[in-house]
Every structure is written in C-alpha cells, then in structure tokens.
Structure 1
Amino acid sequence: MSMLRTHVDAWADTMTSVLDLAPTLGADDLSAPTDCPGWTVQDVLAHLAHLESVLAGIEADTRPDVDGGSTLASDYTEAGVLARRGRPASQVVDELRAAVEARTAALSDLPDDASAPAPLTPGGVSWTWDTLLRNRVIDAWTHEQDIRRAVGRSGGLDRAAAVVTLQSLAAAMPFVVGKKVGAPMGTTVRWQVTGPVELELGVTVGEDGRARRDDAVASATTTITLDSETFCVLAAGRRGAESVPVEIDGDVDLGRRVVAAMTVTF
C-alpha cells in the first residue's frame, strides 16, 4: 500500500469516527470549551467542515490570494469557524458529512508521485500531495481528540491516524532539541512513549551541533516518559507540561525545557 493510500485510509477512518460521534452530542457537549483557545466543540466541527468543504470543491476558498507559504494561517482557519457561528449543529455536521463523502470519492484515484504539488490546498499553501494528505490526518485526528477530551468520551487513541500523527510529531523532535532548546553538543534525549501507541524515540546533538534522530541511543542525558496521548497533546500545543502526566529522569532541568518546547506546527 502506498503512503498516500495509508494517509487517506487513516483520514477516512477518523472522519467516520467524528461523524459517528457528532450526532450523539447534546447541547451542553457542543458548547463545551476545547483545548483550542476560544473554540467550542461545535467550533471544532465547523473548522473540519470548512477545510473539507474547500478541499472537496463544495465551498470556494475564502483566501485564494494566499499562495506560496507552507503554513496555514490562523486567521484563515478562524474565518471558517466564524462564518459558521450561529448555524445549527446539525447543519454543520451535514456539511461535514457531504464534504467527506465527496472527498472520499475524489481520493479513490491517487497520483503516483507523492511529491507532486497538490492542485488544491486550503488557503493556497504550497503543499505536495504527501504533505496535504498527511496534514489532513493530523488535523482530523487531533481535532477528534479535542472533541473527545472536551466531552469526556475517550476513543480512537490506537487507530491508524494516531500512529500517523505520533510519528509525524516525533519527526519534529530533533528541531525541538536542537533549535528550540539549543541543547549542547553531546546531549542525548530519549522519549519512552507508552501505549496506546508505543514508541522509542531518541535525539542526539552531534559534534557539528546538529540534532538528529537516533532511536538506538545507548544512554540518555535525560529520559522523558509519557503515554502517546500525552505526547500528542504536548506536541500539538494543546496543554502545557504542568497539566499532563510526564516523568523525567536524568537531567531534569533539560527534560523540563524539552517538554516545554515540544509544540510544533505543520
């Protein structure tokens, strides 16, 4: 199976989970605040409906002039939510369902070259097919978890999209250690990620000062132990280290600085 197909299947599985969950949410659930500042559960559904509608060609892009960048602007995503404020939740969910159905049909035929530019991206960002489809997995699964935490309905933590999200966030940890923390030469950081998705992750700062992934580090300057949900909550910038369970061994000060800097963007 190609990586693009893996991404599409993981995205589709997550969107099915969201669409199964959404109709079971009551008014109090829909108005519950999430870990996305200023967004309720219904706002998160509106955000998903906006992006999927744009990608399905159902809705014209509200910012077609944004082109050339590689990061989706926050005001773009906020505009999609604001435009849906005041709409009935059922209408937002119906919009999302229609967009997912259309997008699923369109993605039945995928390009051979994953590195080719995607012809349609949200906000006109410059993404390849691989980046677009991977980012849709991360966005969809992370927002599913935002909803589930907000309403106390845990689920989907061991699904394919959780694996894609964890692996993608883990790939950014050398940047965290080397650039954001500025760890000195010879530093080794190990993350021991426990279930539901297990991962042994290591980063070493070499003699050239560059941090590189090295999952086979023999010993670590600091070891950070946490479960995969907590790893994703931190790396996605949903909560701070003070509000999640993390164990640090070795150089505790370094470990705390790494954990505080784990948030990455795509």
Structure 2
Amino acid sequence: MTVHPSLQPAIDAWTHSIEAINELVKPLAEGDWNRPTECPGWSVRDVVSHVIGVESEMLGEPRPIHTLPRDLFHVTDEFSRYVEVQVDVRRCHTALEMTSELELTIIRRSRQLRNETRSPRTTVRWPLGAGPERTLEHQLTMRAFDVWVHEQDLRRALGAPGNLDAPGALVARDVLLAALPKVVAKDAGAPPGSAVVVDVHGPVEFLRTVRVDADGRGTLDSSVSLGPAVTLAMDWETYLRLACGRVRPEGVAGRVSAEGDPRLAEAILRAFAVTP
C-alpha cells in the first residue's frame, strides 16, 4: 500500500517547509539562535525547538520530564505550558545540538510519512495533548500549516524572506480562511444580513466574502458583494501575521486598507488572530 492521494499534498507541503527550515538554520552562528521572533517570548532557537518537539511527539517519543521556570510571561494557560516544555528543555542546547536533532527528526519523520498507509479518515491523537481526537488528514494538514507558519517566523527574524507562495502557503490560506466566518460573525459581531469582503494581494491572492445570515451565522464564498459593510484589503504576509497573532492591527496600520463601517472594521481586525 502507498500513501493515500488526499494526504500527499499536506505531506509535500510539510516536507518543503521543514527542509527549508533546516537550510535556514544550518549555517547560523550561535548568536543568531537567540534572535527574537514575533512569537511572544520565543527566539529562533525556541521556534525550532517547538518544531522538533511536536514532530518528536508525532513519532511517539515520550515527552521530557521538565519543570518550567515561573517567570515565563508568555506561558499563561495549560496549553501554553504543555507547548513550552519542549521549548524550554532545549534552551541550553548549542547550535550543533539543535541542527543535529532537527536533521535526525526530519529523517525519521519523513520515513514515517512515506510509509503512511492509513485512511485519511482514521481517528488519531491530536498532537500537543489538547482537544478531541482528529482525523489523520486533519492532523497532517495542521502540521503542514504549523511548520510553514514557523518557517515564516524564522525568515522574518533572520531577515531571509521567501516561500510566501510555497505549498505550505496554500495550506495556510485554506486553514485561515476556514476560521474567517467565525471571526466576522461571532467574534466581531457583524450584524445579520451584512457582508464583509477581504481582498488579499501578493504571492497568494484571493478575494472572499463573509455573509452573515439572519441567525448571525457566517458563511464564506468567493463572489463579489455589492455594498459590503466593510472591505479590508491587505497583502498576503500582513494577512498571515494578523491571522496568526504575530502583530496587532496598529502595528500594520499602513498595510491595511479598511472601507465601510469603521467600528466593525476595527472589531474584525481586533478579532483577526485565530491561532493560539
């Protein structure tokens, strides 16, 4: 048996991004590993540690037994504490230790994925120990999403832009757009009967309309709305940074155009972040 065709796009996107991360960090000097990223409290080393840690858990490796310091301001709940263990345990690792572990993890995980024969609908344990069980297809899609987003975190921290149109970018687009109706209708409270248009340009381009029905539920489509309550226009990287909580709206005010109801536009942008 071979990998199910519906799983291959996520596996390919994951492979492209994690190999790009490996190439990015392999030549880094020790000091570069300490550069801050847009992930609160995390350096370049910490982002790579997170990627290694999650993929190690996907391989079935036991979690490290480790007590976190009490002064980590960005650790605010059980989920962040769970995630932080794999990060903090590697904060004393050297550049060579980091790159060696990353390369070995990629080799082992790639082999595991090449030999994946389960159905996409197989129920699997969700990584990071949080939430209900998910399908294998969903799990692999979210791993492709997470690794590509962290590749971009590293690129911004290291001043090495690229791959904004990579296979992982298309996975990220679909994951983030799936959350947009809730952002507009529930979190921002767009009124029933209204429509909000999001127009994104750049390496990944799309125009989507969220329509709020009489019951206050949002739906997403690609048709143009006449007279929307709000139209938001921005470049793809800005959309990514806002939707992943890497920057607050005021930090990219010059890169976002908002037309229509200013209060609703502000509420949508305030609620735009959909990742932990």
Q: Which residue of structure 1 aligns with residue 72 of structure 2?
A: none
Give the aligned partner of residue 21 of structure 1: 24
Map residues 138-149 of structure 1 onto 2, 5 A cutoff: 138-149=145-156
- Aligned residue pairs, count: 257
Give the CA deviation at 1:129: 0.6
- 2:248 corresponding residue in structure 1: 240
1:52-109 Cα offsets, whole Å, 9 max, x none, are 122123x31359xxxxxxxx92111101011111111221221111111111111113
CA shift for structure 1 position 124 = 6.5
Query: C-alpha distance in 2, partners of 1:217/1:207?
Result: 20
1:85 matched to 2:100? The reply is: no
In the TM superposition, 1:4-43 aligns within 5 A as 4-43=7-46
* Partner of residue 69, structure 1: none
Say whether 1:121 aligns with 2:127: yes
Shift of 1:3: 3.0
User: How do 1:91-130 and structure 2 match up within 5 A?
Assistant: 91-111=97-117, 113-118=119-124, 121-123=127-129, 125=131, 126-130=133-137
Question: Which letter maps to 1:139?
Answer: D
Distance in 2 (CA, whole Å) between partners of 1:62 and 1:135 is 23
Q: How many angstroms apart in 1 are the aligned matches of 2:21 and 2:110?
A: 15
Task: Give the 3-state SS of the residue equivalent to 1:156 in structure 2.
Answer: coil
Indicate if the aligned counterparts of 1:53 and 1:96 stay in contact, CA closer than 8 A.
no
Deviation string 1:126-161 (CA, Å, 9 cap, x unpaired) is 222122111111111111111111111101111000
Residue pair 1:176, 1:258 contacting (<8 A) in 2 also: yes
Contact 1:222 1:250 (C-alpha < 8 Å) held by counterparts: yes
Equivalent runs, 1:213-232 vs 2, <5 Å: 213-219=220-226, 220-232=228-240
3-state secondary structure, aligned to 1:224 = strand
**d(CA) in 1 for partners of 2:25, 2:129:** 26
Task: Supply the AA of the counterpart residue of 1:256.
Answer: E
> Which residue number corresponds to residue 66 of structure 1?
none
Matched, 1:151 2:161: no
Q: Distance in 2 between matches of 1:252 and 1:122?
A: 38
CA distance in 2, matches of 1:120, 1:168: 16
Of residues 246, 255, 258, the one that matches 2:265 is: 255
Which range is displaced more, 47-56 or 185-194? 47-56
SS at match of 1:171: helix
- Residue of 251, 255, 275 corresponding to 1:265: 275
Q: What letter matches 1:90 in structure 2?
A: L
RMSD of aligned residue pairs (Cα, Å): 1.9
1:235 partner amino acid: A
Counterparts in 2 of 1:124 and 1:174: CA distance versus 1, 3 Å? closer
- After superposition, the C-alpha distances for 1:194-232 in whole angstroms (9 at most, x for unaligned) are 011011111000122211112214222111101111111
Q: Deviations over 1:135-193 (max 9, x none)?
A: 11111111111111111110111100011001110110001011111111111111101
- Corresponding position of 1:3: 6
Q: Which residue of 1 aligns with 2:56?
A: 53
Q: Residues 61 and 123 of structure 1 are in contact (CA less than 8 Å); yes or no, is this contact kept in structure 2?
A: no
